[in-house]
A and B are shown apart, each in its own frame.
Chain A
Amino acid sequence: MDKPKLLFVALAFGVLALWPLVAGNYGIDLVTKIMIYAVFALSLELLVGGTGLVCFGQAAFFGVGAYATVLLSPTDAAASVLWLLPACVLLAALYALAVGALSVRTRGVYFIMVTLAFAQMAYYVVHDTPLGGGTDGIYLNARPLLGSWLDLGKPLPLYCFTLACLAGVFGGLALLLRSRLGRALAGIRVNEQRMRATGFSTYPYKLAAFTVSGAIAGLAGFLFAVKDGLVNPELMSWHLSGAVLIMIILGGLGHLRGALIGAFAFALLQELFKSEAIFGAFAKHWLLGLGLTIIASVALLPRGLVGVPAQLRERLLGKRGTLRGTARAGDGHE
């Protein structure tokens, strides 16, 4: 990652770290939610931006992580994060492994449809069967504890814990994407045929990416369940799968910080369109604004918000302002 981007990321995390000092409860709550979205978005970025697998069913793994949190927690006492978190992440990873094993053999549009269908399957399991508690969902009675001193039921500890998770996932993915594994995934994204011709068995790589991605989504689901204290089938809704896909496109595909930016932008857009102060009676129909924004951003911002500086430069300076004759060894996934 080169200097300006590193600076941006450092700045972003710095602001996040200092935010609780200036924000009230509403602000802390909002940014916790956004950070959870960001972890969710990062999971999908690994799949879509990193490996080129457009998954339209990411909400399933998010939902599995969330439901596992509630179902595994004892009804009367607080569970320990030390075992609860890994257990939920593991369950999400297992579902991802199962779905991936069947889906990853397909490609393109077919893959999009298959992943969507498998997510819908999970949705129906929690919606229709007693396992999921039906449309009302299930409550988490006692939020988990980290050790005996960090109570995730309180907003500030939860904020810090979420920030730590976000930083960990971001850093981990940054390392992973520049490693041999990450480069292989990039190669699969750019030219899978050449990868196979060179000697890479691409199926295990794609399955690995799918499983890791599902695990990270499960982590986001865990955090969400802890924060909200309530899980319901809407967490596995395909609209959520669509939302997280929009986040990474809006932010900018192929960049980890795009997932961060996209999550923030999406959350802020949601708040904006839902705001009765601005839209009055139309606030109820905020999806209309969202839909139009999605269409506009895909049409006008092909590289997402991350690409806006470059797009502006191109507009002002002409193409020669940006076409560099060299590329770093990595394809610039940062």
Chain B
Amino acid sequence: MATNNVLLRGRGITRRWGGLVAVDRVSIELERGSVHAVIGTNGAGKSTLVNILSGELAASAGQVELLGKDVTAWPQPRRARAGLGRSYQRSTIYPSFSVFENCRLAAQARTQKPWHWWQDAQRCSISTAAAQVATHRAGLADLLDRPAGLLSHGEKRQLEIAMCLATEPQVLLLDEPLAGMGAEETERMLALLADLRSGHAILLVEHDMDAVFRIADRITVMVNGAVIASDTPEAVRANPEVQAAYLGGHDGEP
């Protein structure tokens, strides 16, 4: 593994809430061109870990490295500008804006120029072009004028990803993108993720085991804040500890 292929690295990340240890010395690496899934039961610390990697939450101990730089002290917006994108478990969109404007505003983060207060934002070629690309890639080309609040649940999840893509990040932290999706929508999303794989390092927190084992190149299993296994899907499936703690002790069938 060439080190310059590791786009995001978490080292010994720990988070304590008073006496409770929510994340216990977790180390994780995200490589370009791979999907790294993080699975675990509710309360295992997955969301906390993602919040620490994204910069919304400070770690009690440990470091976060983004593209080779130590970003542990960086706030979230700074990490986002450096190439870290994030989608949320609950769709965090702008409901009153159109789908297109959602993505355009996201893309504007790259070209903010707030001092040009007289220029029409819609004429900003950079953000509008990026929004076009992102919406098309996420399959929202027919819905550009729809107010985002009126989208179906699956479409909102697509928009969530599109907004992530609009900032042209190198690392994607995706928190349960498949939550609440039907079979067809799941297929579409998985196809999109497979398409995004090359060129990005993707962290995927998910509960849908079928999807995880299909798409992930690497799986990290968390229980009670600690990592109990981090390996290829086959190895994780066969791991007796994982089977006992999470997969229900069966013969590896999720």
Residues on A close to B: CB < 8 A? 175-176, 178-184, 186-187, 190-191, 193-202, 205, 208, 325-331
Closest A-chain residue to B111, C-beta based? A180
Give the distance to chain A from B50, nearest Cβ to Cβ, in Å: 11
Query: A199 near B105 (CB under 8 angstroms)?
Result: no
Residues of A within 8 A of B75 (CB): 196, 201
Task: Identify 7 new A-B residue pairs, CB closer than 8 A, beyond the known A179-B120, A184-B105.
Answer: A194-B163, A197-B76, A197-B92, A198-B109, A198-B166, A198-B167, A201-B75
Query: B80 near A197 (CB under 8 angstroms)?
Result: yes
Residues on B close to A: CB < 8 A? 54, 56, 75-78, 80-81, 85-86, 88, 92-98, 100-101, 104-106, 108-122, 124, 127, 145-147, 150, 163, 166-167
Give the distance to chain B from A211, nearest Cβ to Cβ, in Å: 13
Query: B109 near A182 (CB under 8 angstroms)?
Result: no
Among B97, B110, B113, B115, point to the contact of A190 (Cβ < 8 A): B97
Query: B108 near A179 (CB under 8 angstroms)?
Result: no
Q: Bound state CA distance, A45 and B108, in angstroms?
A: 24
Most chain A Cβ neighbours within 10 Å, of B56, B88, B97, B110: B97
Query: B94 near A200 (CB under 8 angstroms)?
Result: no
Q: Bound state CA distance, A208 and B117, in angstroms?
A: 12
Query: B119 near A190 (CB under 8 angstroms)?
Result: no
Give the distance to chain B from A167, nearest Cβ to Cβ, in Å: 15
Residues of B within 8 A of A329 (CB): 97-98, 100-101, 104, 122
> Nearest 10 CB-CB pairs, A to B?
A199-B109, A199-B80, A181-B114, A199-B81, A326-B145, A327-B147, A198-B109, A329-B101, A183-B121, A201-B77
Between A and B, 23 residue pairs with Cβ closer than 8 Å are: A179-B120, A181-B114, A183-B121, A184-B105, A190-B94, A191-B92, A196-B56, A196-B80, A197-B54, A197-B56, A197-B85, A197-B88, A197-B92, A198-B109, A198-B167, A199-B77, A199-B167, A200-B77, A201-B77, A205-B114, A326-B146, A326-B147, A327-B97
Given the contacts A198-B163, A326-B145, A180 and B54 also touching, CB distance less than 8 Å = no
Among B104, B119, B127, point to the contact of A179 (Cβ < 8 A): B119
Among B80, B92, B96, point to the contact of A331 (Cβ < 8 A): B96
Among B92, B115, B122, point to the contact of A193 (Cβ < 8 A): B92
Q: Bound state CA distance, A187 and B101, in angstroms?
A: 10
Among B88, B114, B116, B150, point to the contact of A208 (Cβ < 8 A): B114
Query: A187 near B81 (CB under 8 angstroms)?
Result: no
Give the distance to chain A from B42, nearest Cβ to Cβ, in Å: 22
Q: Bound state CA distance, A178 and B81, in angstroms?
A: 23
Closest B-chain residue to A204, C-beta based? B114
Given the contacts A190-B94, A199-B167, A182 and B146 also touching, CB distance less than 8 Å = no
Residues of A within 8 A of B56 (CB): 196-197
Give the distance to chain A from B2, nearest Cβ to Cβ, in Å: 28
Residues of A within 8 A of B167 (CB): 198-199
Among B80, B97, B116, B119, point to the contact of A198 (Cβ < 8 A): B80
Give the distance to chain B from A199, nearest Cβ to Cβ, in Å: 3
Residues of A within 8 A of B78 (CB): 199, 201
Query: B77 near A187 (CB under 8 angstroms)?
Result: no
Residues of B within 8 A of A325 (CB): 145-146, 150
Residues of B within 8 A of A191 (CB): 92-94
Among B81, B118, B124, B150, point to the contact of A176 (Cβ < 8 A): B118
Among A181, A182, A198, A208, point to the contact of B106 (Cβ < 8 A): A198
Residues of B within 8 A of A201 (CB): 75, 77-78
Among B81, B85, B101, B119, point to the contact of A330 (Cβ < 8 A): B101
